[in-house]
Each structure stands twice: as structure tokens, then as C-alpha cells.
Chains A and B, each alone.
Chain A
Amino acid sequence: MATVRLRGQLKQLAGDEAEHEHDGATVTDVLRELEEAHPAVRGWVLDERGRIRPHINVFVNGERGREDTALEAHARLEIIPAISGG
């Protein structure tokens, strides 16, 4: 079971809850479970191809993760938009 931590708009879309527990062997698996539980999140983190959007960072236990990053038990995922803008 992995813990997914959300903030800002993503937290609001996911029932205004900051922490979510989901099963999955990879980052994609867990994000798909999150989308299943909270359909409003669909398309916001993963695009239609299933890729993490370019300016979204997914950290796994503090390290930058990718779609296929394998998750150990009790992994901690943090989804953080890039610091950018104008």
C-alpha cells in the first residue's frame, strides 16, 4: 500500500483529502487507482497517453520518480507541480 500526498488543486479534486492510500506495483498503477477512486483527477497528472505531464513532479520516498518506477511496500508518493510561471 502506497501513500499518495496531494496539494492545491489536486487535493481539492480528490475529495479535499491530502493523503490517499492505494495499491500498485508502479507509479502508474497507483495513479490509476487514484483516478479510479477520484475520477475528477483523471487527465490532470497523467495525460491521455498515460504519461506524467511535463511540469508535474512525482517523488517516490523523496526521489524523482517516473511512470514505471517500482514501488516498495509503504512507498510515499508526493505529487508536486513545478515551480514556474510568469
Chain B
Amino acid sequence: MSELTEVIVGTKKGLFALEGDAGGAFEVTARAFAGEPVDYAARDPRTGRVLATMTSPFYGPKVFWADDPAGEWTEAAGVALPEDADAALKRIWLMVPGEEDGLVYAGGDPGVLFESRDGGESWTLNRALWEHPTRPKWEPGGGGLCLHSIVPWPGDPRRLAVAVSAAGVWLTEDGGESWERGNEGLVAGYAPEGAPPDEVGLCVHRLERAPSRPERVFMQFHGGVYRSDDAARTWTDIGDGLPSDFGFPIAVDPADADSAYVIPLTADVDRVTPDGRVRVYETRDAGATWSPRGDGLPERDAFLTVLRRAFAATGEGDRLGLYFGATSGEVFGSGDAGATWSTIAARLPPVYSVAVS
């Protein structure tokens, strides 16, 4: 009997846990935070603990943790900006396990990074990024000044890359004590001609690191798909062959540093799947070529929007599991690296995030 796959979905109206066989049928096994916008939720594979963040329109952003998504949730402490800040925390976008026991990172709006040393029960703000001298120039993207991507370096807790929309990529090699930009080669086609590179808003949509070759990082940009082979310092456009240079999420195969997956949307002014067809595009040669993967996905009259945290991968190689959700409430899954797909949930609230374990 195959092991069940768990997909945790954050939606506009709560958290849903789905369970099923990869490539087969799934069912809803838990719902939490009914009625509340759950921006992101995921299980920490090291401990089994589930972390979730919701932004109540009334009570503000909160992070909770639980061992069982159907059980009791406990609110985490310390998820707030300093009392003397000129703004309040607006939202937490994601939580990501770090490279030490108990270490977890959280990214949020306005462009902030939090760190937990106890598996997500309590958090402290990363002061170096908060007080970075360039911060007054940071501009928010359409989704706010969101720190939406955190990619640790396997085995080295000192090295970390994060991305902020629209303040670009930031790198640390000293555990967050200092930060430097990692934006060389990115082309902001929406910026005024001749704008100084460090002055423009660099609207990164998502980063993913190739764990088997950590210096390689893939990026979906506001206009373009990029690859870095020098630890996110310089970037090369690899978007040729895609139907569009616009999209939000990106996923990688942990076993193959040449493999990545994107879900193109028509354009920044038309953020739906092109031509009414839902297709995931795969590269197996680090972006030199791209191939559509859509067997089992809607082929006509399907104009879906897939947000930046609504695409996740599990496993590797031919058994790579890929799962993504749309703002129209569908969640799709593949248990064979995108070769075939099935609809694992059809009528959820608008999907904000997908995580899989």
C-alpha cells in the first residue's frame, strides 16, 4: 500500500488538509481557521509540526502551530514589528525550515524576516534587514512589500537568500547579521529607461534553490524566468520557449539541478492561464528548453490564476509530486513529475498557498 500524500492548502476561507494517493483521489481530512484568510500553511518535515499564518481583516496577522491540523492550534509569540516602528506588521507570507534543529524562518510585509529557534513557537525580527540603510527606498509590489521567498543553503545555516517584492534579492553569509543585494542581470522591463539598477523596484515573484547544487537558484520574475549559478548573485534569463514571461510560482526537483517547473500566465495585465489552457512548463536542461506538461489539466475555457505560494513539490526524480492551486478553488496534483495530472479538489475557496508532504 502506498504512503498517503498530505496537501495543506491555505485559502481565503481557512486551511484545508487533503490526503490521498499521489496521482489518485484525495479527500478533505481537516479544516481550520474557518472563515479566516490563511495565507500560508505547511508541515515542518523534521518534526511533523504544522505552522499556519492567517491575516484576520480585524485582528491582524497571526502565526499558529499545531501537531495535528484538525486539533488544537496555539498562537506563536513575537510576530510583530518593534513598538516604535512607523507601521504595523501587515501579513506573514510563508514559513520555511532552517538548517539547524528548531530553526524556522518567516517572511512578511513590510519586507521583514523573522527567525524562530523553537520550531515556530516564538519569533524575533531580523534587525539587520529591518534596519538596512536602503529600506527607505524599497517599493511595494501589487501584493505589498512582501518577503515571500526564503531559500536556505542545505547544511549551512549561515547562508540564506530571500526575495522581496519589489526590493529584489537579498543574501546573507553570516546568519543574517548583514545583507547584500543579489540582483545583477535582472532586467526590470517595467522600469523607466536608464533607471539606476539599485533604485528600481525589482519585482521578484519567487525563488527556489536546487538542493543538489545549492549555488543554483531559479527565479520567476515579474517579467522573465531566471537562473543563477553563483548563489543568487548574478542572473541569466532562461525564459525563451515559454508562452509568457509572466507568472508567479516556480518549483524544482531536489534530485536534479537542471529541472524546474513554472506555470506561465498570459501577461502582467492579464494574469490568467494562456489561451484558456492550464499547463505546467518543465525544463530538464536548466532552462535551455521548456516543454508543456498538461495531461489531465483543463484544456479549454480555463482561465486560472495561480499565486506565488500555491505551487509545491515533494519527492524527487520520476516520482516527483507537484501540486498547485488556483484562485478559482481547484487544486491539481501529479505524482509522476508532471507527466499526468488529476484534480484533487475542485471547489475550495480561492487558494492562496499549497504545501505538500
Interface centre among A9, A47, A51, A81, by most chain B C-beta atoms within 10 angstroms, is A47
Partner of B85, one of A45, A48, A55, A81: A48
Chain B residue total in the interface (Cβ 8 A): 15
Q: Hey, which chain B residues are within 8 Å of A40, CB to CB? A: 75
Q: CB within 8 Å of B: which of A8-67?
A: 9, 40, 43-45, 47-51, 53, 55-56
Q: Which partner residue on chain A sits nearest B89 by CB separation?
A: A48
A51→B89 CA distance, assembly (Å): 12
Q: Hey, which chain A residues are within 8 Å of B85, CB to CB? A: 48-49
Minimum CB–CB distance for B232 against chain A, Å: 31
Interface of B is mostly: loop
Verify A56–B58 contact, CB threshold 8 A: yes
A49→B60 CA distance, assembly (Å): 13
Minimum CB–CB distance for B98 against chain A, Å: 24
Q: CB within 8 Å of A: which of B69-86?
A: 75, 79-85
A84→B60 CA distance, assembly (Å): 14
Minimum CB–CB distance for A86 against chain B, Å: 8
Total of A-B residue pairs, C-beta within 8 Å? 41
Q: Which partner residue on chain A sits nearest B75 by CB separation?
A: A40
Q: Hey, which chain B residues are within 8 Å of A56, CB to CB? A: 58-59
Q: Which partner residue on chain A sits nearest B83 by CB separation?
A: A48
Verify A55–B88 contact, CB threshold 8 A: no
Q: Which partner residue on chain B sits nearest A44 by CB separation?
A: B59
Minimum CB–CB distance for A79 against chain B, Å: 10
* Cβ of B57 under 8 Å from chain A: yes
Q: Hey, which chain A residues are within 8 Å of B75, CB to CB? A: 40
Verify B82–A55 contact, CB threshold 8 A: no
Q: Assuming A40-B75, A48-B80, A48-B82, is B88 touching A9 (CB within 8 A)?
A: no
Verify B57–A85 contact, CB threshold 8 A: yes
Q: Which partner residue on chain A sits nearest B59 by CB separation?
A: A44
Minimum CB–CB distance for A34 against chain B, Å: 14
Q: Hey, which chain B residues are within 8 Å of A55, CB to CB? A: 57-58
Interface centre among B58, B60, B81, B84, by most chain A C-beta atoms within 10 angstroms, is B58
Minimum CB–CB distance for A42 against chain B, Å: 9
A48→B125 CA distance, assembly (Å): 13
6 extra A-B contacts, CB within 8 A, seeds A47-B88, A47-B89, A48-B80: A44-B59, A44-B60, A45-B59, A49-B81, A49-B84, A53-B60
Give B contacts to A, CB under 8 Å: 57-60, 62, 75, 79-85, 88-89
Give A contacts to B, CB under 8 Å: 9, 40, 43-45, 47-51, 53, 55-56, 81-82, 84-85
Interchain Cβ contacts under 8 Å between A and B, 17 examples: A9-B59, A40-B75, A43-B59, A43-B60, A43-B62, A47-B89, A48-B81, A48-B85, A48-B89, A49-B83, A49-B84, A49-B88, A50-B83, A53-B60, A55-B57, A84-B57, A85-B57
